[in-house]
Amino acid sequence: MSSRKTATIRDVAEAAGVSIATVSKFINRQQSFSASVEEKLRSAIAELGYSQNPAARSMVTGKTTAIGLAVMDIANPHYANVMKGANRVALANDYNLLVVDLEEKGTGVREMLEPLALRTDGLIVSSRIPADVVDWLAGLNKPVVFLGQPERQGVVCVGMDSVEVASLLAGYLVQQGFTRIGYVGYGRAAWNAERLRGLHDVLDAAGVELMEFDAEAPTSEAGEQVAARVLLRPDRPQAVIGCNDLVAIGFMTEARSLGFKIPQDVAVAGIDNIPTSRYVSPSLTTVDVFSEATGETVMTRIISMIGDEASRKLSPPPSLKPLLVVRESAKRQDRIAATEV
Amino acid sequence: MSSRKTATIRDVAEAAGVSIATVSKFINRQQSFSASVEEKLRSAIAELGYSQNPAARSMVTGKTTAIGLAVMDIANPHYANVMKGANRVALANDYNLLVVDLEEKGTGVREMLEPLALRTDGLIVSSRIPADVVDWLAGLNKPVVFLGQPERQGVVCVGMDSVEVASLLAGYLVQQGFTRIGYVGYGRAAWNAERLRGLHDVLDAAGVELMEFDAEAPTSEAGEQVAARVLLRPDRPQAVIGCNDLVAIGFMTEARSLGFKIPQDVAVAGIDNIPTSRYVSPSLTTVDVFSEATGETVMTRIISMIGDEASRKLSPPPSLKPLLVVRESAKRQDRIAATEV
DNA sequence: ATGAAAGCGCTAACAC
DNA sequence: GTGTTAGCGCTTTCAT
């Protein structure tokens, strides 16, 4: 069953008494065969445990049947879930997934992406990528889809509209009656400016003050670190929005150990709706960006772009809509009721 | 800069006025060259934007410089962190990472692994894999390392000793003075039996009762679901161990909405030390299994196995030791003090 | 329906 | 130090 060397198409051809061309056509189901040949082929393949060498195949076809996925931080549940969705549709379409975790690095990104580009038929990359790398990707002559908002014209993109995401949250907070709101952003992120715009759109119109802060990183640790700076000042915000759930959760934890009650003393909200946000106390109000569905969508999209030159420039399919998830962490003090999600 | 077709080694040879063999040797830095040739090569490569075709290379070398990683559930932070560590050392060694999320499936696993096996020089697979698939992997003539405990002899394995992990936690709970302890396991997992053994080792010796429960899945949702069954009975355990932090966190949340105070009414502990465990309330007592270091270790190990036939059967390096992380969720009622981590 | 032959881009002997 | 050449395993015309 398992010989020393792996069987090649030639071994199969010999065992079945046909030519290698016939074997090739058979395994690629490119035509029909006489019953006798078909049977001999089938058993020869089983006997030898033959399977196609993808490298050899890809040499002649020029296709790799693999897709690259580059994420900023695989430990962020948002990205892990994007990957889950992407993995699912890749597998269903007989594609393999090559992944690289950029680990939030802003430098050496192209070097990390280059091998991916060489080994795949298309790339899915997080949008927080240096401009020169985006240029390089664009000239790659290979489908590339960005995750999140586009910073540039002419690039294909899948993800929520950051302006809309932020507006949604701002709208809720205004409706709750808060009049001074803090936003803990992450300046290096591509979406940060859009988030701010979405926030201002709503808050300015409502006459609500917006205080801007910046986290060191889009992580819980950074959320913890920023909390004192935000809260230990006379004009502290009544409600604080974290640029993602991780930041919000870190912020909440540190706020509590600083002696603040949430949401009574300070309301907190996040963005993403990572699974954890349901399990912290109080449960975190957030905006669902449908990470897993995003992964499925982006993978579906890139697969359709491969081999379908026409769809490469088309605008994305009806894009995903963010959904406000109201939980306990951002209810106005005087309105708190016993409604737990 | 970006011509229609990508440049080949032949284009470079022509542009530099040398043979393709010279180009090949140059890009693989296999020897030194005359200054003039070196310079011409360098500029020709830059000019044409040439890069090696990995498929062509791998056809002749038989190597892919890629490693496959198969995890049970990439949305489980434990696995995401294993992947983070694995990614890091893969990149540092010029390997690419091919990932497949098995999504906790028990069937069709081989079909998901087959393409990975064909495209990589080695495989890292979660150990909760059907026996026949393990057999197949073993006959693959390719380095395979399992994550977690081995169920079989002769397979290379990286991960914590499950018996030890469980004993550690049991020891702490005994020391806290609990006399009736529940364990919410996951029967389908390879490590479950070992965990149980580790628990019994310690608890039996201490005369502490162990109540066994099973979760539907190793997830927070399953942890929630099982809570009522465990807690709404006259002989409910004083402390409950979740088979991982996800289960423990789900359990805690549901326990609280059932009206139990933690740890006063019921103590809870988990296993893994996922990042979230610090941020739930109360903070979760758990055992750190060093997920990220595990990922680094396993990747280091498999890279050394490739091309080093000798090390393929060696026993693993000094294995990782689990570490008890004491937080608030499992302190005995009468001993609770103000020590927060 | 089946086969012969020409490569895909590259590395590795082996010559020079 | 540099070039020639023979494949690696496969798909794909083009014959038959």
Quick one: pLDDT band at residue A311, thresholds 50, 70, 90?
low
Distance CA B97, CA B303 (A): 12
Task: Establish whether domains B9-61 and B66-160+291-308 are of one fold.
Answer: no
Q: Token digits for B257?
A: 């909405």
Quick one: pLDDT band at residue A5, thresholds 50, 70, 90?
confident
pLDDT of residue B5: 78
Which nucleotide is the nearest neighbour of A62, by CA and C1'? C8
Q: Which residues of chain B does A328 touch, with a Cβ-Cβ cutoff of 8 Å? A: none
pLDDT of residue B340: 42
- CATH code for A66-160+291-308? 3.40.50.2300
Residues forming beta bridges with residue B146, ordered by sequence position? B125, B157
pLDDT of residue B4: 63
Q: Which residues of chain A does B1 touch, with a Cβ-Cβ cutoff of 8 Å? A: 139
- The gap between B96 CA and D11 C1' (Å) is 26
- The gap between B28 CA and C10 C1' (Å) is 11
Could you identify the residue whose CA is nearest to the C1' atom of nucleotide C5?
A: A21
Verify if strand D has an atom below 7 Å from the CB of B266. Answer: no
* Residue of A117, A279, A16 lying closest to B77 (CA atoms): A279
Residue A293's SS3 state is helix
Q: Select from B56, B97, B139 the Cβ nearest to the Cβ of A98.
A: B97
How is B41-56 classified by DSSP, letter by letter? HHHHHHHHT----HHH
Cβ contact, residue pair A87, B74, below 8 Å: yes
pLDDT tens per residue, range A241-300: 999 999 999 999 999 999 999 999 999 999 999 999 999 999 999 999 999 999 999 999
CATH superfamily of the A9-61 domain: lambda repressor-like DNA-binding domains (1.10.260.40)
Q: Select from B97, B141, B220 the Cβ nearest to the Cβ of A100.
A: B97
Run of H or E including A98: strand A96-101
pLDDT of residue B112: 97
Quick one: pLDDT band at residue A317, thresholds 50, 70, 90?
low
Quick one: pLDDT band at residue A312, thresholds 50, 70, 90?
low
pLDDT, mean of residues A190-205: 94
Verify if strand C has an atom below 7 Å from the CB of A8. Answer: no
Give residues with Cβ within 8 angstroms of B134, minimum separation 6: B146, B151, B152, B155
Give the least confident one: A280-284, A319-323, B15-19, B270-274. Answer: A319-323
Asked whether residue B222 carries a pLDDT value surpassing 70, the answer given is yes
pLDDT, mean of residues B172-177: 97
Helices (H), chain A: 9-16, 20-27, 35-48, 54-61, 77-92, 109-119, 131-138, 162-176, 192-206, 220-231, 245-257, 291-305
Asked whether residue B333 carries a pLDDT value surpassing 80, the answer given is no
Q: Token digits for A230?
A: 């935000």
Residue A193's SS3 state is helix
- The gap between B13 CA and D12 C1' (Å) is 27
- Strand D nucleotides, any atom under 7 Å from protein beta carbons: they are 1-5, 7-13
Q: Select from A2, A141, A276 the Cβ nearest to the Cβ of B141.
A: A2
pLDDT of residue A338: 43
**Residue spans per domain, chain A:** 9-61, 66-160+291-308, 162-288+324-340
pLDDT, mean of residues B122-133: 93
pLDDT, mean of residues A98-106: 96
Which residue did the predictor score with more confidence, A2 or B28? B28
Verify if strand C has an atom below 7 Å from the CB of B37. Answer: no
Q: Which of B99, B103, B124, B142 to mutate to test the interface with A (most CBs of A within 10 A)?
A: B99
Residue B146 near residue B156 (C-beta atoms within 8 A): yes
Alpha-carbon distances of B241 from A122, A246, A280, B226, rounded to whole Å: 44, 25, 19, 12
Verify if strand D has an atom below 7 Å from the CB of A319. Answer: no
Class of CATH domain A162-288+324-340: alpha beta
Q: Which of A4, A87, A136, A247 to mutate to test the interface with B (most CBs of B within 10 A)?
A: A87
Q: How far is CA A101 from the centre of its chain?
A: 12
Place of tokens 């294995």: B319
Place of tokens 């905006």: A287
Residue B309 near residue B122 (C-beta atoms within 8 A): no
Nearest CA in chain A to B62: A55
Asked whether residue B110 carries a pLDDT value surpassing 80, the answer given is yes
* Residue of B14, B116, B79 lying closest to B246 (CA atoms): B79
- The gap between A10 CA and C4 C1' (Å) is 14
Could you identify the residue whose CA is nearest to the C1' atom of nucleotide D11?
A: A60
Residues forming beta bridges with residue B214, ordered by sequence position? B185
Phi-psi map region of B243: left, alpha, beta (phi>0 left; psi -120 to 50 alpha)? alpha
Q: Which residues of chain B does A59 touch, with a Cβ-Cβ cutoff of 8 Å? A: 53, 55-56, 59
Q: How far is CA A289 from the centre of its chain?
A: 10
Residue B96's SS3 state is strand
Could you identify the residue whose CA is nearest to the C1' atom of nucleotide C2?
A: A22
pLDDT tens per residue, range A18-43: 999 999 999 998 888 899 999 999 99
Give the least confident one: A8-22, A203-217, B28-42, B316-330. Answer: B316-330
Place of tokens 């001999």: A40
Verify if strand D has an atom below 7 Å from the CB of A27. Answer: yes
Alpha-carbon distances of B265 from A279, B101, B328, B333, rounded to whole Å: 19, 38, 13, 8
Asked whether residue B94 carries a pLDDT value surpassing 90, the answer given is yes
pTM of the complete model beyond 0.85: yes
pLDDT of residue A337: 47
- Strand C nucleotides, any atom under 7 Å from protein beta carbons: they are 1-5, 7-13
Which nucleotide is the nearest neighbour of A36, by CA and C1'? C1
Verify if strand C has an atom below 7 Å from the CB of A25. Answer: yes
Distance CA B267, CA B248 (A): 10
pLDDT, mean of residues B236-254: 98
- The gap between B135 CA and D6 C1' (Å) is 37
Cβ contact, residue pair B66, A98, below 8 Å: yes
Cα distance from B201 to chain A (closest Cα, Å)? 32
Verify if strand C has an atom below 7 Å from the CB of B58. Answer: no
Residue A131 near residue A155 (C-beta atoms within 8 A): no
Cα distance from B192 to chain A (closest Cα, Å)? 24
pLDDT of residue B31: 86
Asked whether residue A58 carries a pLDDT value surpassing 90, the answer given is yes
Q: Which residues of chain B does A70 touch, with a Cβ-Cβ cutoff of 8 Å? A: none
Residue A135: half-sphere exposure toward Cβ, Cα within 13 Å: 5
- The gap between B303 CA and C6 C1' (Å) is 38
